[in-house]
Structure 1
Amino acid sequence: MSGDAFEIHGEGREGPMVITCEHASARVPAPLSTSDSDRAWLETHWGYDIGAATVARRLADRSGSVAVLARYSRLVCDPNRDTDDPTWIRTHVEGQPLSFNQDLDAEERDRRARRHHAPYHAAVDRLLAQRLPRGGDVLLFSVHSFTPVFAGAVRPMELGVLFDRHAAVAERFAGLLDEQGFHTALNEPYSGMDGVIFAAQHHGAAHDVVYLELEVRQDLISDAAAAIAVADRVGAALERLRLRTKSR
Structure 2
Amino acid sequence: MEEGERAHREAVPAARVLNEGGSSPYVVLCDHASNHVPRQFGSLGLSPADLERHIAWDPGALPVSEALAQSLDAVLVASTMSRLVIDLNRPLDAPDLIAAVSETTAVPGNADLSDAAAAQRIALAYEPYHAALDATIAGRLAAGRETQLIAIHSFNPVYRGVSRPWHVGVIHDDDERLSAPLIAALRRHDELVVGVNEPYSPADRVYFTLERHARARGLPCVMIEVRNDEIADGAGQARWAAILAEAIAEAGRLAGSTIGTQTPGRRGHIA
TM-score in terms of structure 1 length: 0.93
Question: Deviation string for 1:141-192 (max 9, x for gaps)?
Answer: 1000001111111111111110113235322211101113422111000012
| 2:246 matched residue in structure 1 | 236
User: Contact between 1:38 and 1:99, CA under 8 Å: does it hold in 2?
Assistant: no
Quick one: which of 150, 157, 175 aligns to 1:166?
175
Partner AA of 2:167 in structure 1: E
User: Contact between 1:22 and 1:80, CA under 8 Å: does it hold in 2?
Assistant: yes
Residue 245 (structure 1) aligned with residue 259 (structure 2): no
Quick one: which of 110, 119, 123 aligns to 2:128?
119
Partner AA of 1:195 in structure 2: R
Question: Deviation string for 1:30-83 (max 9, x for gaps)?
Answer: 311016734322110101101000111111101111011100000100001011
CA distance in 1, matches of 2:226, 2:34: 16
How does 1:8-157 map onto structure 2 within 5 Å? 8-34=17-43, 37-135=46-144, 137-157=146-166
Quick one: which of 208, 214, 217 aligns to 1:207?
217
Q: Matched residues, percent identical? A: 33
Structure 1 residues 235 and 121, CA gap change in structure 2 (3 angstroms): same
Structure 1 residues 87 and 223, CA gap change in structure 2 (3 angstroms): same
CA distance in 2, matches of 1:105, 1:143: 32
CA distance in 1, matches of 2:254, 2:129: 32
Partner AA of 2:80 in structure 1: R
Report how many residues are paired. 247
CA distance in 2, matches of 1:188, 1:75: 23
CA distance in 2, matches of 1:93, 1:193: 18
Residue 178 (structure 1) aligned with residue 187 (structure 2): yes
Q: Provide the alpha-carbon RMSD of the alignment.
A: 1.8
SS at match of 1:37: coil
CA distance in 1, matches of 2:14, 2:118: 15
SS at match of 1:46: coil
Structure 1 residues 174 and 163, CA gap change in structure 2 (3 angstroms): same
CA distance in 1, matches of 2:216, 2:45: 40
User: Contact between 1:27 and 1:72, CA under 8 Å: does it hold in 2?
Assistant: yes
TM-score in terms of structure 2 length: 0.86
SS at match of 1:167: coil
Quick one: which of 214, 220, 225 aligns to 2:230?
220
